[in-house]
Copies of this chain bind each other. A is one copy, B any other.
Amino acid sequence: MCELLAMSANTPTDLCFSFTGLTRRGGETGPHKDGWGVAFYEGKGVRAFHDADASANSRIAEVVQTHPIKSEVAVCHIRQANVGDICLANTHPFMRELWGRYWVFAHNGQLSAFQSSPGFYEPVGTTDSEALFCDILNHLRTHCDRNTGTDDVVDRLVRLSSAYASQGVFNLLLSNGDWLFTYCTTRMASITRRAPFGPARLKDADVTVDFESETTPDDIVSVIVTEPLTSDELWDVYQPGEWRLWRKGEVIRSGRADAESRTLSE
């Protein structure tokens, strides 16, 4: 299994604090030592870092922890390999271009029997996760176009996610740089920080931050993870089948797919 981390914010914000906590689980406080990756949107561009080594010992992870990279949407993953070798090509998050935007995907779980249909997008590596990502994009490209409204795209993502979830564990982070779609089958929680900001302490490292000194009163910053990162804040735990669509730090749509709807009909 792996661990996921995402951020949605209404102002460019760095991920140093959360990333520091998560990456300790990559070989130090957790067993997710088989690679890590993070993608930061900056406008329509994406700055990505990937490493097939343990994040706890990675020189590049250390730079990302200490060098503030400001973003409104970030997606991060640390890997404990199950399907696919330990190599760079199998390291999340994965990225493809669709309709002139970069789409970024990270997945926690396993769908070992998943069979993708041939399509335009193809996996480069050998993980079920990348095959799922390509399947999602092939589906969107076939059934939608650049003018399809976000609500319709998200409705499809919910139906697809529910169908995948019926085949295994499918905790998902997916962004096109504008919005961030999150889907939980087993483990996901979020926290939204806004004024009045307070301090927070990481679970996985002896690090405390006082967000008040790093923010303005208008900032809204949400963090979504598979396991809460701090010990002194209240995290909002997702229910199985629950999905939330984030934009600029806030949930703009959410819902819960019931077990009966977890079939794909297109």
Contact = CB atoms under 8 A, between A and B. Distances in A.
Contacts of A89: 42-45
Contacts of A87: 42-45
B45 A91 contact: yes
A50 B41 CA distance: 12
A52 B70 CA distance: 13
User: By DSSP majority rule, is chain A's interface helix, strand, loop, or mixed?
Assistant: mixed
Given A43-B87, A45-B89, A59-B63, A122 B99 contact: yes
Given A42-B87, A88-B43, A124 B101 contact: yes
Interface size band for A: 20 to 34
Nearest to A134: B97
Contact of A63 (B63, B101, B120): B63
A67 B51 CA distance: 13
A97 B125 contact: no
A55 to B, nearest CB: 14
Nearest to A49: B49
In the complex this chain forms, how many copies of it are found?
A: 2
Interface string A69-97: 00000000000000000011111000011
A235 interface: no
B125 A45 contact: yes
A248 to B, nearest CB: 19
A100 to B, nearest CB: 4
A197 interface: no
A42 B101 CA distance: 25
A88 B140 CA distance: 26
Interface in A24-51: 42-51
A46 B102 contact: no
A119 B60 CA distance: 36
Given A45-B89, A50-B45, A63-B63, A97 B96 contact: yes
Nearest to A45: B88
Given A42-B89, A99-B122, 16 more contacts: A42-B87, A43-B87, A43-B88, A43-B89, A44-B87, A44-B89, A44-B125, A45-B88, A45-B90, A45-B124, A47-B49, A48-B48, A49-B49, A60-B63, A97-B122, A97-B124
Interface of A: 42-52, 59-60, 63, 67, 87-91, 96-97, 99-102, 120-125
15 contacts: A42-B52, A43-B88, A43-B89, A44-B124, A44-B125, A45-B125, A47-B49, A49-B49, A59-B67, A96-B97, A97-B122, A97-B124, A100-B122, A100-B123, A100-B124
